[in-house]
Amino acid sequence: MEHIRTTKVEQVKLLDRFSTSNKSLTGTLYLTATHLLFIDSHQKETWILHHHIASVEKLALTTSGCPLVIQCKNFRIVHFIVPRERDCHDIYNSLLQLSKQAKYEDLYAFSYNPKQNDSERLQGWQLIDLAEEYKRMGVPNSHWELSDANREYKICETYPRELYVPWTASKPIIVGSSKFRSKGRFPVLSYYHQDKKAAICRCSQPLSGFSARCVEDEHLLQAISKANPVNRYMYVVDTRPKLNAMANRAAGKGYENEDNYSSIRFQFVGIENIHVMRSSLQKLLEVNGTKGLSVNDFYSGLESSGWLRHIKAVMDAAIFLAKAIMVENASVLVHCSDGWDRTSQVCSLGSLLLDSYYRTIKGFMVLIDKDWISFGHKFSERCGHLDGDPKEVSPVFTQFLECVWHLTEQFPQAFEFNEAFLLQIHEHIHSCQFGNFLGNCQKEREELKLKEKTYSLWPFLLEDQKKYLNPLYSSKSHRFIVLEPNTVSFNFKFWRNMYHQFDRTLHPRQSVFNIIMNMNEQNKQLEKDIKDLESKIKQRKNKQTDDILTKELLHSVHPESPTLKTSLCFKEQTLLPVNDSLRTIEGSSPADNRYSDYAEEFSKSEPAVVSLEYGVARMTC
């Protein structure tokens, strides 16, 4: 509270991001403890969570006021003009403070209260049970067992307590291997393919330097390959570019030497590091923010940002994994430097390709919990939850979501969830509204007592499941149906609904999915009505037959039935138009489309029309 000096500013203008004619909305800006709220003259509200703010910028004073540009982590960009410089300065300072908290305890999740009691909260956290998930995969079994080596986080702080390793790997081997791996992250099971008896394992880079060896580590790798009864060799995938891995050797780290390990095949896949990814996204956003962008600038910007190239690299690596398991029956060990960024991307995408369970809503939550949260992807640092090192921020998880989105585009029937689900998850990794993504590893989360003090996101998403269902999903498919995406370059497209999710004017105006969903609803409703009516008919007929029996008036049956029929038809007819109104046709207004360069030339403007577009944007956020 102590950061807020001005809670309300009137006569603030909200500029349209893309309009070349400086169109704007006037309204009032409110500052609360958690949100920034803008209410325009049409009573449309725009809520911005402080934690979503990536940067606030105060531009040079203009004649109309003091411009304030706010960039959000969910790719919303708002441009306010505050009439008085003092107000602007106050807001600017408050936002700077509020958007970058120093302590976890100040984050929204610790004050967020969805009116649930403690047992409900606990149930929410128990919704996803990783032990259950490993059981589903088929472990422990005769080759893999639960290891209690890390029960007290003694061997590796960033791993979870429960880890699955080959049963032949004894504790000394594990301890020895962990000492030979960066941050103690020794090879453990990530996914077990029951059908092929092959596993995806993950770890961090070995501390091999130029010549160091570790017998325990070699033993552990051999144990992993032996745990696969079908194929004796295993792939070791280093997700870094070869050059980066070589450079690491000088620092005493590096990669596995094929000569020292029996039965491994070593492979680089060349995904760039977090710093490259961060600047790539930065470039992409710069290009997209340009006013009056030409097609050529867009594509050359897209190219020079390299974003899609990185996405493709991640995808290629995941495909390599899936192929190794499906085609060669070989187990795979994946690592990068620390084994929590690229390794998480590749392992989780690989499992998603292999196992259709992860393509369901629940399964996708499990996947994120397993490969990202439990294995210590540093969400708090990568998303910049706290005021920390900006060099640790990187859109690694965003890339994973984008890869999944590309898969949903190529396989529209394979996923139970839709784009909105991915966008919602992306929203919440930054929102700090729920406890799931706070902290950098399980140990830290336990210390923060997140399960007692905050709520889990997943039950809230499940409750709203309807919104996230893909109407084209066909669930009948077999569990081990492998997706084989086509990676020809033109299949990689710019994800407009992510990077422009708040720029509604850029979107198609009618959504096929919504309409199909509505139609399904209608059908269900109609089927229900038919059943109701049929039962009514039966009742009446029974009645009639009773009547006939009692009164023996045979003729009366005939005049009755047509009225029944007409009433049935009538019911259906009246139903339809009601449902039709559900269909929305947006875009019946020409407000701010880019071709209105000539709008200034035209004498009249269309005031009523602008609000319509904004209304649409707000309703869905």
* Catalytic sites, residue numbers: 336
Interface segment toward other proteins; rule CB under 8 A; list 35-43, 80-88, 379-387, 598-606: 598-606
Q: Which stretch binds other proteins (CB under 8 A): 177-185, 414-422, 459-467, 584-592?
A: 584-592
Determine the 3-state secondary structure of 591 from DSSP.
coil
Closer by beta carbon to other proteins, 50 or else 76: 76
The radius of gyration computed from the CA coordinates of the chain, to the nearest angstrom, equals 29
Closest to 474 (Cα-Cα) out of 418, 520, 413: 413
Question: Residue 503 CB, nearest distance to other proteins (Å)?
Answer: 8
Q: Which stretch binds other proteins (CB under 8 A): 295-303, 369-377, 399-407, 571-579?
A: 295-303
Does residue 588 interact with other proteins by CB under 8 A? yes
Among 288, 331, 345, 433, binds other proteins (CB under 8 A): 288
Applying CB under 8 A, does 589 fall inside the site for other proteins? yes
Alpha carbon distance 44, 352 (integer Å) = 40
Contact flags string 231-270 toward other proteins, x per CB under 8 A: ----------------------------------------
- Cβ within 8 Å of residue 11, ≥6 positions away: 26, 28, 83
CB of 589 to other proteins, least distance (A): 7
For other proteins, the closer of residues 210 and 598 by Cβ is: 598
User: Do the Cβ atoms of 516 and 418 come closer than 8 Å?
Assistant: no
Question: Which pair of structure tokens corresponds to residue 142?
Answer: 């005769």
In the complex, what is the shortest distance from the CB of residue 264 to other proteins, in angstroms, rounded to a whole number?
A: 27
Alpha-carbon gap, residue 540 to 364, rounded angstroms: 50
Dist CA 286 CA 304 (whole Å): 11
93-121 burial code (b ≥16 CB/10 A, e <16)? bbbeebbbbeebeebbbbeeeeeeeeeeb
Burial tier of 263 (Cβ tally within 10 Å: 0-12, 13-18, 19+):
middle
Q: Which two tokens stand for residue 555?
A: 């003729």
By beta-carbon proximity to other proteins, the closer residue of 263 and 589 is 589
For other proteins, how many residues bind (rule: CB under 8 A)? 51
Q: Which of residues 300-339 bind other proteins (CB under 8 A)?
A: 300, 302-303, 306, 308-309, 312
* Residue 590 CB, nearest approach to other proteins (Å): 4
Among 1, 60, 131, 295, binds other proteins (CB under 8 A): 295
Q: Considering the complex, what minimum distance in angstroms separates the CB of residue 516 from other proteins?
A: 8
What 3-state DSSP class applies to 299?
helix
User: Of the listed pieces 92-100, 154-162, 206-214, 499-507, which binds other proteins according to CB under 8 A?
Assistant: 499-507
Segment holding 132, helix H or strand E: helix 130-137
Can you list the positions of beta strands (E) in 276-372? 331-335
CB of 517 to other proteins, least distance (A): 12
| Least distance between other proteins and beta carbon 288 (Å) | 7
Identify residues 133-192 at the interface with other proteins (CB under 8 A).
none
By C-beta, is 308 or 330 nearer to other proteins? Answer: 308
∠ Cα 210 199 326 (to 5°): 110
Dihedral sign computed on CA atoms, order 422, 392, 203, 445 = negative
Residue from 508, 538, 543, 565 binding other proteins (CB under 8 A): 508
Please return the burial class of 470, using the count of CB atoms within 10 Å of its CB with bins 0-12, 13-18 and 19+: buried
Pairing, β 35-40 against β 24-31: antiparallel
Least distance in Å: CB of 444 to other proteins? 36
CB atoms within 10 A of CB 456: 22
Interface with other proteins by CB under 8 A: which range of 246-254, 275-283, 379-387, 488-496?
488-496
Nearer to other proteins, 123 or 304 (CB): 304
491 vs 545, beta carbon nearer other proteins: 491
User: Is residue 595 a contact residue for other proteins (CB under 8 A)?
Assistant: yes
Residue 372: left if φ>0, alpha if ψ -120 to 50, beta else—which one?
A: alpha
- For other proteins, what does the binding mask look like between residues 4 and 33, x meaning CB under 8 A? --------------x---------------
The residue from 294, 550, 563, 581 that contacts other proteins (CB under 8 A) is 294
Residue selected from 279, 360, 606, 611 as contacting other proteins according to rule CB under 8 A: 606
Residue 604 sits in the site that holds other proteins (CB under 8 A): yes
**Interface with other proteins includes 515 (CB under 8 A)?**
yes
- The span from the CA of 444 to the CA of 449, in Å, is 9
Helix (H) or strand (E) holding 163: strand 163-166
Determine the angle formed by the axes of helices 171-179 and 215-226, rounding to 10 degrees: 120
| C-alpha–C-alpha distance, residues 181 and 176, integer Å | 9
Within 8 A by CB and 6+ apart from 103, the residues are 386
- Of these, 252, 388, 590, 607, which contacts other proteins (CB under 8 A)? 590
Instruction: Please report, as ranges, the residues that interact with other proteins according to CB under 8 A.
Output: 18, 288, 293-300, 302-303, 306, 308-309, 312, 487-490, 492-494, 496, 499-500, 505-512, 515-516, 580, 583, 585, 587-590, 593-596, 598, 602, 604, 606
